[in-house]
Amino acid sequence: MLVNNMRVITGIKDMRSVSKEARMSGKTVGLVPTMGFLHEGHLSLIRAAAGECGFVAVSVFVNPTQFGEGEDLESYPRDLERDTGLAEEAGADVVFAPGVEEMYPDGAGTVVHAPPGLTGVLCGRSRPGHFTGVATVVLKLFNIVAPDRAYFGRKDAQQCAVVKRMVRDLDVPVEIKVMPVVREKDGLAMSSRNTYLSPEGRSTARAVHKALRKAEEMVCSGILSADEVKAGMYKILNKAEGLEVEYIEIVDPETMEARSDAGANALIAVAARVGGTRLIDNILVSSEQWMVSDRRRGVGNDE
C-alpha cells in the first residue's frame, strides 16, 4: 500500500521480507518504533536513523497492552496519512502500521517482564503493567523487523531503561540508540499527548520545563542534594495552578534506583497532570562537571 508515496506495510510477513531484502542487499536496518501522530521528537529519531542506516522502518502502532484501564487508548491521536508524509520527509523507507489483530491474534498471552525494580517506580507506579506492554511490543517489533539499530527518545527515560535492560538480559541482537528530548520553543517536551492540552493547560504545562531548568541551575551552582533540588522544583510546580505533580524523582538512568544526590549522571524526572493530560519530562546531568546534558535556552531544538 502506498500512502503519500510512502510504502505502508500492515502484515508481519511482508515486513519481515522487506526488511530481510534490505539486509540481504547489505543495508543496515534501522527501526524507529512509534505510536504515530509524529512530532519533531519522532522526526529527529527518523533523521538520526536515516543518517546511520541504509534502510529505515518506522513502526506506527498504538499498542493497546501498554494502556491501563481508564487511560487514553481510544482517544490517543491517530493520523496515518499525515504520519507517512512526515516519515518520508524525515528519511524513512517504509512505515509498518499493523492492526491490533495482526499483532495480537487470539489475544496472544506471552509477555516480557523487566525487573520490578525498574518497572515498579516512577511512571510504573501509576501505570501498572505499562512497561510489560512496552517491553513485549518492542520485542515483537524487534523480532519482526530484525533491526541492527533501534531509536528511542529520552523523554521516555524509563522506557529507554526498560528496553535497554531487556535487550541486555535477553541477548537481543540490536543496538539501542537513545536520543535527546526535543522541545517546543518554550521548553515543553514534544509529545503526541500535548494535543490534549487546552490553551490554558498548554500555558500551565510550561512549569514542568521551568522546574527542570531550576534543577539545572541548582546543580550547576553546586547544589547536589537530591532533596534540595526536588524542593526547589516543587516550589515552582506547586505554584502552577491546575498542575498536579505525580512525581519528581532523581534516579540512576539505567537502574531507576533513587539517588540521594543530583550529581554526575543523575536523571531528574518529572510527571505531572494538567487537566486530564499526563506530561512527563526529564533532564540528565552530564557525567562531567555536573553539566546538564540537554540544557536549553528556549531557542528551539538545538540539542
Of 85, 93, 105, the residue nearest 36 (C-alpha)? 85
Query: What's the CA gap between 222 and 172, in Å, rounded?
Result: 40
Report the residue number, 146 or 283, with the smaller CB distance to a second copy: 146
Q: Least separation, in Å, of the C-beta of 99 and a second copy?
A: 14
Report the residue number, 169 or 227, with the smaller CB distance to a second copy: 169
Report the residue number, 16 or 78, with the smaller CB distance to a second copy: 16
- List the grid coordinates of 91: 528519511
Query: What's the CA gap between 240 and 206, in Å, rounded?
Result: 9
- List the grid coordinates of 247: 512525581
Q: Least separation, in Å, of the C-beta of 197 and a second copy?
A: 35
Query: What's the CA gap between 160 and 135, in Å, rounded?
Result: 10
> Cell numbers 521480507 label which residue?
17
Q: Least separation, in Å, of the C-beta of 72 and a second copy?
A: 25
Query: What's the CA gap between 207 and 236, in Å, rounded?
Result: 7
**What does the binding site for a second copy look like in residue numbers (CB under 8 A)?**
12, 16, 108-115, 117-118, 135-136, 139-140, 143-144, 146, 165-166, 168-173
Of 83, 209, 57, the residue nearest 146 (C-alpha)? 57
Q: Least separation, in Å, of the C-beta of 52 and a second copy?
A: 20
How far, in Å, are 34, 230, 234, 250, 275 from residue 150 at the CA level? 11, 33, 35, 26, 33
Backbone angles phi, psi at 29, to 5 degrees: -105, 125
The catalytic position among 39, 42, 130, 209 is 42
Is 42 part of the annotated catalytic residue set? yes
Query: What's the CA gap between 251 and 247, in Å, rounded?
Result: 12
Report the residue number, 108 or 231, with the smaller CB distance to a second copy: 108
Report the residue number, 51 or 120, with the smaller CB distance to a second copy: 120
Q: Least separation, in Å, of the C-beta of 132 and a second copy?
A: 9
Query: What's the CA gap between 144 and 150, in Å, rounded?
Result: 13
> Cell numbers 502500521 label which residue?
97
Report the residue number, 85 or 129, with the smaller CB distance to a second copy: 129
Q: Least separation, in Å, of the C-beta of 118 and a second copy?
A: 8
Instruction: Say if residues 102 and 81 touch (Cβ distance below 8 Å).
Output: no
Q: What angle do CA 240, 243, 246 make, to 5 degrees?
A: 125
CA 243 vs. chain centroid, Å, equals 22
Active site residues: 42
